[in-house]
């Protein structure tokens, strides 16, 4: 697990599995944890890490309903979880799916003794929308953090049927979920309602945010500077257009052509068949 401070109010934690990213953001005396690392020891380490850094965790947020982004409650039990309305609907329809997938992962990786993943208590957030954080106009929090503001929430579907991206305006940080990854090609999970057209629309929706961002944090691969994120966005649009036009003959983006990415590409063909 790696922890990287990309702004005085933003820490990115990158898991040792799939380079899954989670983000702690603070403002004034409040803070949120967005998404989660994967391994039990990583989750166990989060409370001490954020306490030492002066980052309060007042609540949890998730970019979408895939199980590897929903584990924050195992690190901060009793904390409320906020998700997009689309994610709330997905979870309501298949509330046991994330726990089943977590059990399958633990069996494959020989992980014993993990606590059950409880997802019965979550709050549906309107998207697009805003989330208040800190006390607007109040005094700065720990280490001079900003006195208060709002996190902007944008729809981010296409990878799956659901999703949200979070824009941190005072830090110029975009947390975009499973898009713009330097380690994965676009993954269209038709099993979970993903679609090529919606994925492309989400990338177009991200374009003006990326052009304003100092840092973009994808769901897999760690934080990116603006220039690299713009490059990935362009590459991913080219790949999706080629997938629609050429199917299996579409070339994969350079640097993302491993056997695993070829498997993802083969699965993506169901989105255009």
- Tens-place pLDDT, residues 229-273: 999 999 999 999 999 999 999 999 999 999 999 999 999 999 988
Per-residue pLDDT reduced to its tens digit, 116-130: 898 878 999 999 999
φ, ψ for residue 24, nearest 5 deg:
-105, 125
pLDDT tens-digit series, residues 48-62:
999 999 999 999 999
d(CA 133, CA 118): 25
Long-range contacts from 227-235, C-beta under 8 angstroms, 24+ separation: 228/182, 229/174, 229/180, 232/180, 232/181, 232/182, 233/180, 233/203, 233/206, 233/207
pTM of the full structure: 0.94
Predicted local confidence at residue 119, as pLDDT? 87
pLDDT at 146 over 70: no
**Number of domains observed in the structure of the chain:** 1
Q: Can you list the positions of beta strands (E) in 8-158?
A: 10-14, 21-27, 30-34, 59-61, 81-84, 122-125, 129-134, 148-155
Task: Please name which of 102, 120, 104 lies closest in space to residue 40, comparing C-alpha atoms.
Answer: 102
Query: pLDDT tier at 142 (50, 70, 90 boundaries)?
Result: very low
**Percent of the chain predicted with pLDDT > 70:** 95
Per the structure, the complete domain to which residue 34 belongs is given by: 2-271
pLDDT at 120: 76
Q: Which two tokens stand for residue 87?
A: 């994610």
Q: Across residues 115-144, what is the average pLDDT? A: 76
Instruction: State the CATH number of the domain containing residue 152.
Output: 3.60.15.10
**Does position 100 have pLDDT exceeding 70, yes or no?**
yes
Contact 214, 171 (CB under 8 A): yes
CA 43 to chain centre: 16
Contact, 131 vs 167, CB < 8 A? no
């Amino acid at each position: 697990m790696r922890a990287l401070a990309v702004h005085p109010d933003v820490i990115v934690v990158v898991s040792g599995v799939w380079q899954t990213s989670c983000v702690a953001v603070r403002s004034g005396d409040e803070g949120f944890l967005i998404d989660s690392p994967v391994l039990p020891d990583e989750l166990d380490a989060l409370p001490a890490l954020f306490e030492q850094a002066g980052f309060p965790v007042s609540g949890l947020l998730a970019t979408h309903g895939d199980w590897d982004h929903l584990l924050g409650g195992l690190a901060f039990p009793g904390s409320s979880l906020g998700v997009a309305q689309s994610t709330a609907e997905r979870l309501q329809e298949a509330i046991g799916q994330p726990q089943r997938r977590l059990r399958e992962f633990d069996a494959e990786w020989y992980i014993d003794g993990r606590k059950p993943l409880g997802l019965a208590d979550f709050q549906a957030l309107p998207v697009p929308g805003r989330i208040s954080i800190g006390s607007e106009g109040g005094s700065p929090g720990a280490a001079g953090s900003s006195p208060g503001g709002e996190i902007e929430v944008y729809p981010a579907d296409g990878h799956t049927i659901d999703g949200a991206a979070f824009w941190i305006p005072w830090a110029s940080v975009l947390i975009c979920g499973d898009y713009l990854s330097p380690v994965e090609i676009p993954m269209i999970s038709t099993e979970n309602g993903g679609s090529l057209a919606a994925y492309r629309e989400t990338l177009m929706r991200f374009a003006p945010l990326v052009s304003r961002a100092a840092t973009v944090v994808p769901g897999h691969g760690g934080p990116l500077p603006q220039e690299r994120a713009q490059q990935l966005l362009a590459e991913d649009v080219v790949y999706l257009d080629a997938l629609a036009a050429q199917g299996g003959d579409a070339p994969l983006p350079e640097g993302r052509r491993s056997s695993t990415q070829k498997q993802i590409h083969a699965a993506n063909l169901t989105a255009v068949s």
